[in-house]
């Protein structure tokens, strides 16, 4: 069972300057269960204390936002403040470094980076992580729970360490999980996952391919055969690399992901049967919305919401299936999914504070 906190839940966020960090703080400030204690906001060790609204003026007016400051990270401060759950919205290397000490201090951790998502060493190698204590890191890796509430809700409730899924991975895994679990896909034929994301998915730091002059009026593929979310697809869907091709693209919009996934069915299917697979699989998933075929989701339907929308169309011969998955990469692909995980860990309703 999830831990039932007898006192109001105390949270902290390390890494609030980025897009996902800002969305996470916004959700926590407005969460009805956290009204008694605003989150403790942390920057890097040795950094200066700064007002939250000087970093994110858009948060001004939210409960306590105008009086909150971002203070330097100090593990002792977290312990003294009796923090229950620590969110990490930090680079992968920093999360890998900070988690062992935080867990040892009795904190439960929800990490939004890719540092703890992958259990297979070969898949994790894409992050080029270094562990000061490899044995301790390996032990923590075995207990890290992949933070997809729809797939691992029961494990999330009692976990000490949650690895929040990647945004692309969330969109594709949620689209495919019901079909893979039902064993209706011809995996020998292979799966094509064509995914497109708004520019915020690349993070706040500008790069040559994300500045306005490159991204505007453009559409480009990148990381073909090498995107770091591929390992999540393989591990969570129990596929091998020969069974799925994932290609990401950069859309000239601020936020949102649309994934178009092509599969061949092992046996001819029907719209009714496919619809039933999705409806049954997500019957208790409050933040996954299933469209009625032939209706298909669009990015504009999900942007700035915590939902993932799924829809499909089946070929007239019943053999070829196209699934469309849409979500907001900063919310269901990051911050709001992290809050879903917090809700489960604390014994709250999964969608509390997110609708």
327 neighbors 355 (Cβ within 8 angstroms): no
Q: Which alpha helices (DSSP H) does 105-148 contain, by range?
A: 121-124, 134-143
pTM for this structure? 0.96
Neighbouring C-beta atoms of residue 59, cutoff 10 Å = 19
Q: Of residues 78, 110, 167, 215, which has the active-site annotation?
A: 167
Residue 238: count of CB within 10 angstroms of its CB: 10
SS3 319: coil
Residue 217 per-residue DSSP state: T
- Checking phi first, is residue 340 left (phi over 0); if not, alpha (psi -120 to 50) or beta? alpha
Predicted local distance difference test score (pLDDT) of residue 67: 97
User: Considering just the CA atoms, what is the radius of gyration of the chain in Å?
Assistant: 20
pLDDT for the residue 1? 41
Continuous H helices in 133-270 = 134-143, 149-158, 167-181, 212-215, 230-237
Nearest to 289 by CA among 168, 179, 174, 169: 174
Task: State in Å, rounded, how far the first CA of the chain is from the last one.
Answer: 24
Task: Please state whether beta strands 40-43 and 11-14 pair in parallel, antiparallel, or not at all (unpaired).
Answer: parallel
Q: Domains in the chain, start-ordered, CATH in brackets?
A: 11-164+334-346 (3.40.50.720), 167-327 (3.30.360.10)
Cα–Cα distance for residue pair 347/143, rounded to 1 Å? 20
Query: Which of 349, 320, 351, 343 is closest to 11 using CA atoms?
Result: 343
Q: Element (H or E) spanning 273, and its range?
A: helix 271-281
Q: Provide the pLDDT for residue 45.
A: 86
CB of 176 closer than 8 Å to CB of 237: yes
Check if 308 is active-site.
no
Per-residue pLDDT of the chain (355 residues; tens, 9 = 90+): 456 666 799 999 999 999 999 999 999 999 999 999 999 999 998 889 999 999 999 999 999 999 999 999 999 999 999 999 999 999 999 999 999 999 999 999 999 999 999 999 999 999 999 999 999 999 999 999 999 999 999 999 999 999 999 999 999 999 999 999 999 999 999 999 999 999 999 888 878 888 888 889 999 999 999 999 999 999 999 999 999 999 999 999 999 999 999 999 999 999 999 999 999 999 999 999 999 999 999 999 999 999 999 999 999 999 999 999 999 999 999 999 999 999 999 999 999 999 8
Concatenated DSSP letters for 70-119?
A: EEE--HHHHHHTT--EEEE-S-HHHHHHHHHHHHHTT-EEEE-SSTTS--
Contacts of 183 (CB under 8 A, 6+ apart): 266
From CA 211, how far away is CA 17, in angstroms rounded?
A: 18
Distance CA 183, CA 265 (A): 9
Residues 6+ apart with CB under 8 A from 6: none
């Amino acid at each position: 069972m999830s831990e039932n906190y007898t006192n109001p839940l105390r949270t902290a966020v390390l890494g609030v300057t980025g897009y996902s960090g800002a969305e996470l703080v916004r959700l926590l400030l407005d969460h009805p269960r956290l009204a008694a204690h605003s989150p403790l906001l942390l920057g890097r060790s040795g950094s200066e204390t700064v007002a939250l609204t000087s970093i994110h003026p858009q948060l001004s007016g939210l409960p306590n936002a105008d009086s909150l400051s971002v203070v330097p990270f100090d593990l002792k401060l977290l312990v003294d403040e009796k923090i229950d759950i620590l969110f990490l919205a930090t680079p992968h290397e920093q999360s890998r470094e900070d988690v062992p000490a935080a867990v040892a201090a009795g904190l439960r951790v929800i990490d939004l980076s890719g540092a703890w998502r992958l259990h297979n060493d070969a898949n994790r190698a894409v992050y080029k992580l270094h562990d000061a204590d490899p044995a301790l890191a390996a032990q923590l890796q075995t207990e890290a729970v992949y933070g997809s509430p729809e797939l691992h809700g029961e494990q999330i409730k009692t976990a000490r360490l949650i690895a929040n899924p990647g945004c692309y991975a969330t969109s594709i895994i949620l689209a495919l999980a019901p079909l893979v679990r039902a064993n209706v896909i011809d995996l020998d034929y292979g799966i094509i996952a064509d995914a497109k994301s708004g520019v915020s998915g690349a993070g706040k730091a500008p790069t040559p391919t994300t500045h306005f002059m490159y991204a505007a009026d453009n559409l480009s593929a990148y990381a073909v055969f090498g995107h770091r979310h591929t390992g999540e697809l393989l591990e969570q869907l129990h596929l091998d690399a020969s069974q799925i091709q994932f290609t990401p693209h950069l859309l000239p919009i601020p936020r949102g992901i649309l994934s178009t996934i092509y599969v061949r069915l092992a046996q001819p299917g029907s719209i009714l049967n496919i619809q039933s697979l999705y409806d049954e699989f997500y019957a208790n998933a409050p933040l996954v919305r299933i469209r009625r075929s032939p209706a298909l989701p669009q990015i504009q339907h999900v942007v700035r919401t915590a939902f993932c929308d799924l829809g499909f169309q089946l070929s007239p011969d019943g053999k070829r299936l196209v699934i469309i998955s849409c979500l907001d990469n900063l919310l269901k692909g990051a911050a709001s999914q992290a809050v879903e995980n917090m809700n489960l860990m604390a014994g709250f309703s999964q969608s509390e504070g997110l609708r």
